[in-house]
Each structure stands twice: as C-alpha cells, then as structure tokens.
Amino acid sequence: MSPRLSLAAVVGAIVVAVALVPPGRSEPAAKKLAIPEMKFDEVKEIAPGVFFRYSSISATDPKVPFGGSNHTWVLFKDHVVVIDANFPKEAGDVLAAIKKTTKLPIKYVLDTHHHGDHAYGNAVWAKEGAKIIGHTHAARLLMANGAKQWEEQAKDRKDVKESHLHQVDEHFDDKLVLDDGTQRVEFLHLGHSHTRGDAVAYLPKHKILCTGDACVNGAFNFMGHSNSAEWVKCLEKMEKLDVDLVCPGHGPVAGKDLIAKQKRYFVELRAAVQKGIDVKKTVDEIAAGLDMPWYKEWTGKAANDIKDNVKHVFDELTGKIDHERLGAAPRVGRDDLVRR
Ligand SMILES: [Zn+2]
C-alpha cells in the first residue's frame, strides 16, 4: 500500500468516526474572529485550538530576526497539524514555539508549496515523526528541482547545509480533509497561482484560511513560478469560501478583504502590461508607467520597481511562457513521488 493510500484510509476512518456522532447536537454560532495585532515571532491563539506565529520576512535588516514564513498550527484531539515547514533553522524555532502550546505530537505538516521557506524544514518535522503533505505538483517540483535549488541555498545558509531535503510523504490532487470531530482542516488545491502546486488550508469551523504565498499581506509577490491569469481565478475561489480571517504566508493576519487586495495587484498589472503590449511598449516603459500608489502604501515598494513581475506578465501575455513546463519540468514520474 502506498503512503498515499494509507493516508486516504486514515482520513476515511476519521470521517467515518465523525459520521457516527448522533446528529442534532448543534454547536453555538461562532463569534466573528478578531484580527490579532502581533509582533514578529509572537504566537497567538487566534481561534480555539488554532495558533498563529507571525514571522518577519526581512533577511537583510539585522535589527529584525528573519523568520521565514508564517505558521498556523491546529490542535486536534490527539495530534497537531502544522501549516508550512519553513527553513530548517526556523522550523526548529517554530517547533519550540509549538511545544510551549501543547504536548501533543505533530502528525501532519503541509508544505503550501515547494519554495525553501515553506518546504526546506521538512526533515526537522519528519524527525519529530510528522508526515509531510503537499499537492502533487509541489511534491513533483520539490523532487525535480529540489536538489539543485537546495545546493544553491546551502551556499548561503548553514542550516540548509547541515540538514537534508526530505521529500513530500503524502500528496493529493484536489482536496485532503483531516477531521476528528473537534477540528477540521481542508487542504485545497485551487489551481496554478504562486506556483503550480499551491495548497491552502481551510478551517471551516473557524472561518480561517491559511493561504501560503497564494495570498500575502504586504510582502513581495514573487511571480517567477506563477500563472497570473489562473492566480486571479484562484483568488476568486478563495473569495467564495466562508472566511473571516486570512493567515497569509507572509505578512500580518487580515480580514477577507486581503484576498481582493491581492487580486487587485494582478488584475491591474495584467491590464497595464496588456495595454503597453498593444502600443508596442517595452517592459521598461511599461514598468515606468505603472500607476499603483495603493500598492506602495500596502507593500512599501512601488510596483514600478518590481520589474521581474512586469517582465513575467509581459512574457505570459506574449506567449513566451509555457505554464505546463513551468510547473512540471523536468518530468518526474508519478510513481517516483511515493519514494522517500
Ligand atoms: Zn513562495
């Protein structure tokens, strides 16, 4: 039995157990969750049994400790589920923070995508006995590109050099549900957004959505592995979910309006680039003409200065990017994904 099947069996057993609970015991309507004010590296219980750790993404400011990605963890009856794996060093910091909130073992960790600040700490969590879960394409990308990118990162980061790349243990295509009757976490793949293999974690009972880098708050939107047209559609799918709090991959927790703000950047950027292409402008000319003061207010960086994103959309709209290749090259056989 492949690990994939074994997880399906476990999840199935949990769902069956839930179905045996007699109906009619309705829970009181949950109060709308407040948006927490948080300092870097602070941990808050944002809903019963749901913790959020807010990390700084600054790798250059010596006054602010780098924290990699944000983290959410959920206390189930007898185990913990963690959203994102971070870099090895930061994974250790988060692990210590989790241990201050619970003695329960960590059973599952979701890599929201294959980037280093979300997946390179996998070995740290695996050592704790956790299974690493990711979307099929995240697993494939981590396997296909991981070794090379890991070597690159190892040049700059001691923790990466001293750790090893642990691959995704269990992968899923559209949806994977963990539910023990007390907590419910739905891992959802909504399409190709920030990467080909993005997954979000939806907590319907608490109306919380953990988005990974498919929606960030004030942080730089790396678009190099993205499909901007599909990304807009993915954000529209997120908007259809019943959500009060958005826990982004980077930046502070926000209300649901964050999703619209994130979408606005891609919609306006795509429209401006298309307009420029129509009148034969160059990437530099289009970037110089971008008029998005609200974006600078939000991120601290003028949209004009993020030329890589303008170039990415320019290349997409002029047919220079093969999104299939971007997501899957070089090809890795599906069967390879279950190999440790
Ligand atoms: Zn990323």
Tens of pLDDT, residues 21-43: 444 445 555 678 899 999 999 99
Q: For the chain, give me the number of helices (H) and strands (E)?
A: 12, 13
Beta-carbon contacts of 229 under 8 Å, excluding residues fewer than 6 positions away, are 270, 316
- Domain count along the chain: 1
In a domain, 133, yes or no: yes
In a domain, 265, yes or no: no
**Closest listed residue to residue 316, CA positions, set 283, 338, 285, 292:** 283
CB atoms within 10 A of CB 101: 15
pLDDT at 30: 61
Long-range contacts of 50-53 (CB under 8 A, 24+ apart): 50/74, 50/75, 50/183, 50/203, 50/206, 50/208, 51/75, 51/98, 51/101, 52/247, 52/253, 53/94, 53/97
CATH of the domain at 49: 3.60.15.10
Distance from residue 146's CA to the centre of ligand 1 (Å): 14
Which residue type does 111 have?
Answer: D
**Closest listed residue to residue 85, CA positions, set 7, 146, 155, 13:** 146
**Closest listed residue to residue 18, CA positions, set 133, 170, 186, 183:** 183
In a domain, 66, yes or no: yes
In a domain, 320, yes or no: no
Domain extent for 176: 3-9+28-256
Measured on CA atoms in the order 57, 255, 301, 236, is the torsion positive or negative? positive
Distance from residue 121's CA to the centre of ligand 1 (Å): 14
Distance from residue 289's CA to the centre of ligand 1 (Å): 27
pLDDT at 3: 42
Of 105-109, 275-279, 320-324, minimum mean pLDDT range: 320-324
Distance from residue 194's CA to the centre of ligand 1 (Å): 7
In a domain, 32, yes or no: yes
pLDDT at 221: 86
Distance from residue 313's CA to the centre of ligand 1 (Å): 17
Distance from residue 214's CA to the centre of ligand 1 (Å): 8
Distance from residue 75's CA to the centre of ligand 1 (Å): 25
In a domain, 307, yes or no: no
Distance from residue 19's CA to the centre of ligand 1 (Å): 37
In a domain, 277, yes or no: no
Q: Which two tokens stand for residue 209?
A: 């959505």
Distance from residue 28's CA to the centre of ligand 1 (Å): 37
Average pLDDT score over residue span 188-215: 97
Task: Evaluate if residue 60 carries a pLDDT over 70.
Answer: no
pLDDT at 75: 98
Distance from residue 224's CA to the centre of ligand 1 (Å): 10
Distance from residue 123's CA to the centre of ligand 1 (Å): 18
Beta-carbon contacts of 333 under 8 Å, excluding residues fewer than 6 positions away, are none
Could you tell me if 303 and 295 are in contact, meaning their C-beta atoms sit under 8 angstroms apart?
A: yes
pLDDT at 29: 56
Distance from residue 107's CA to the centre of ligand 1 (Å): 23
Distance from residue 153's CA to the centre of ligand 1 (Å): 14
Please write the tens of the pLDDT for every residue from 245-291.
999 999 999 999 999 999 999 999 999 999 999 999 999 999 999 99
Instruction: Please state, in angstroms and rounded to a whole number, the distance separating the CA atoms of residues 243 and 257.
Output: 10
DSSP 8-class letter at 156: H
Biggest distance spanned by C-alpha atoms of the chain: 65
Residue 158 — very low, low, confident or very high, per pLDDT cuts 50/70/90?
very high
pLDDT at 24: 47
- At residue 200, φ and ψ (nearest 5 deg) are -110, 160
Distance from residue 1's CA to the centre of ligand 1 (Å): 32
Residue 224 — very low, low, confident or very high, per pLDDT cuts 50/70/90?
very high
Distance from residue 160's CA to the centre of ligand 1 (Å): 17
Average pLDDT score over residue span 88-99: 97
Task: Evaluate if residue 83 carries a pLDDT over 80.
Answer: yes
In a domain, 313, yes or no: no
Please write the tens of the pLDDT for every residue from 180-201.
999 999 999 999 999 999 999 9
